[in-house]
């Protein structure tokens, strides 16, 4: 209930609303602009003559007879075989999320239920690992991976991403499990369950909200990763992000920047959908650490 005293004066209201509008444009406009431009030819999207060409698509009309063209998408998906990278990305993300949640749930649960001092040190170690840029580890991977002949394939990258994901997953799930009352599994153990049975039958049914939130962030980490995937995957196994980076190397010279634009829009679309459906979980996940800390 906004009381009369809390109501803003008109001037201030206009100012704040104006600020929100500016932020809205800053946050949303680049995406819509790129989406719109991806259906144009390069000379429209990067217009030397007149920037309004990017809106009206003069050159696109001249070339394709209509203001919109899917040529960039065709070039990226068919000619450059971007669909392979899309499939690779989803394979990587699926296995990273599943594996990291499975082992992370077990570990996070154990950390939240054990009162010994070493849990603190394990969590601190995880925090240090979380703070390290993943790229600093890559130099350590390359030699052994070449030696064992496992460099460049998807499973290696999946395992590495799972490991890099673990510190964050452990912290989130640990704080989540701490909010589940200990009495639940204690009483199951009194009834004769082992610790694992108590976990399996009592905790698993109630843990899904936390697990889904953590899973979203694991997904984002795997999906958004560039440093590790670019270094550990061979050219034929590339996921989307390193593939787009590689596009830039080849297409800038060929004058096919629009392929990269189309690929970028294609890679952003799943994230849009993700935010649309899981906005609440993402927000709660972001704030979970803050409210506790």
Partner 1 sequence: MKHRTFFWFFLPTGLAMLLFIAFPIVSVVVQSVFAPHEAVLKTVENCTPLVGCTTETTIDQDATREIRDAQPLGRFVGLDIYLDRAHLAVAEVSDAWATTNSWGEFSDKLFNLPLYRALAFTLTFTFIVTPMLIIFGLMIALAVNSLHRHLKGFMIFFSLLPMIVTPLIGSLILFWMVDSRGVIGSALVALAGDPNFSLKASTGLTWVMLIVYGVWHSAPFAFVVFYAGLQTLPKDQIEAAQIDGASRWQQIKYVVVPHLMPLVTFVALIQLMDNFRVFEPVVGFNASAHATSLSWIIFNDLGGETRQLSAASATSVLTILGVAILLSPVLVRTWRDFKGK
| Distance, CA of 141 to CA of 169 (rounded, Å) | 22
65 or 235: CB nearest partner 1: 235
The verdict on 181 binding partner 1 (CB under 8 A) reads no
Among 70, 144, 155, 181, binds partner 1 (CB under 8 A): 144
Q: What's the closest the beta carbon of residue 127 comes to partner 1, in angstroms?
A: 7
65 or 264: CB nearest partner 1: 264
| Distance, CA of 173 to CA of 132 (rounded, Å) | 20
258 to each of 16, 179, 219, 227, 266, how far by Cα in Å?
A: 38, 49, 27, 24, 12
Which residues inside 55-84 make contact with partner 1, applying CB under 8 A?
Answer: none
**Does residue 133 come out as left (phi exceeding 0), alpha (psi in the -120 to 50 range) or beta?**
beta
Residue whose entry in the numeric block shows the structure tokens 């709660």: 284
Q: What's the closest the beta carbon of residue 284 comes to partner 1, in angstroms?
A: 8
Q: What angle do CA 125, 225, 222 make, to 5 degrees?
A: 75
253 or 276: CB nearest partner 1: 276
- Residue 251 token pair: 């297409």
Segment contacting partner 1 (CB under 8 A): 64-72, 80-88, 201-209, 257-265?
257-265
Q: What's the closest the beta carbon of residue 72 comes to partner 1, in angstroms?
A: 13
Q: What's the closest the beta carbon of residue 220 comes to partner 1, in angstroms?
A: 7
| Distance, CA of 285 to CA of 213 (rounded, Å) | 6
The verdict on 234 binding partner 1 (CB under 8 A) reads no
Residue whose entry in the numeric block shows the structure tokens 């603190």: 120
Segment contacting partner 1 (CB under 8 A): 7-15, 57-65, 66-74, 78-86?
7-15
Among 86, 96, 162, 207, binds partner 1 (CB under 8 A): 162
Residue in 82, 45, 75, 76 with CA at minimum distance from that of residue 60: 45
Q: What's the closest the beta carbon of residue 154 comes to partner 1, in angstroms?
A: 15
- Residue 123 token pair: 């969590």
DSSP string computed for 167-199: HHHHHHHHHHHHTS-HHHHHHHHHTT--HHHHI
Contact 172, 217 (CB under 8 A): yes
Among 78, 87, 135, 190, binds partner 1 (CB under 8 A): 135
Which residues inside 81-100 make contact with partner 1, applying CB under 8 A?
Answer: none
Q: Total number of residues binding partner 1 (CB under 8 A)? A: 102
185 to each of 3, 130, 206, how far by Cα in Å?
A: 47, 29, 11
Which residues inside 192-231 make contact with partner 1, applying CB under 8 A?
Answer: 195-196, 199, 220, 223-224, 226-227, 230-231
Which residues inside 109-128 make contact with partner 1, applying CB under 8 A?
Answer: 109-111, 113-116, 120, 122, 124-128
Segment contacting partner 1 (CB under 8 A): 58-66, 75-83, 102-110, 204-212?
102-110
| Distance, CA of 86 to CA of 91 (rounded, Å) | 9
Among 10, 14, 23, 60, binds partner 1 (CB under 8 A): 23
Among 10, 11, 139, 148, binds partner 1 (CB under 8 A): 139
């Amino acid at each position: 209930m906004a009381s009369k005293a809390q109501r803003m004066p008109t001037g201030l209201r206009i100012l704040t609303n104006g600020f929100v509008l500016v932020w809205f444009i800053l946050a949303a406009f680049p995406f819509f602009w790129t989406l719109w431009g991806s259906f144009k030819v390069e000379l429209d999207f990067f217009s030397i003559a007149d920037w309004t060409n990017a809106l009206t698509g003069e050159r696109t009309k001249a070339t394709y007879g209509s203001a919109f063209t899917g040529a960039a998408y065709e070039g990226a998906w068919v000619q450059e075989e971007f669909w392979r990278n899309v499939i690779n990305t989803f394979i990587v993300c699926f296995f990273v999320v599943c594996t990291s949640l499975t082992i992370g749930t077990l570990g996070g649960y154990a950390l939240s239920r054990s009162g010994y001092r070493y849990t603190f040190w394990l969590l601190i170690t995880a925090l240090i690992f979380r703070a390290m840029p993943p790229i600093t580890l890559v130099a350590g991977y390359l030699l052994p991976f070449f030696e064992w002949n496992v460099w460049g394939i998807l499973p290696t990258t999946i395992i590495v991403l799972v490991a890099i994901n673990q510190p964050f997953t452990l912290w989130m799930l640990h704080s989540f499990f701490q909010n589940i009352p200990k009495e639940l599994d204690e009483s199951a153990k009194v009834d004769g369950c082992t610790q694992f049975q108590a976990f399996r039958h009592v905790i698993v049914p109630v843990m899904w909200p936390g697990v889904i939130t953590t899973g979203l962030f694991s997904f984002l980490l795997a999906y958004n990763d560039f440093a590790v995937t670019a270094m550990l995957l061979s050219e034929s196994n590339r996921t989307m992000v390193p593939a787009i980076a590689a596009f830039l190397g080849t297409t800038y010279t060929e004058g096919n920047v629009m392929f990269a634009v189309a690929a970028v829009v294609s890679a952003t679309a799943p994230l849009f959908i993700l935010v649309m459906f899981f906005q609440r979980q993402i927000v709660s996940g972001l704030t979970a650490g803050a409210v506790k800390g």
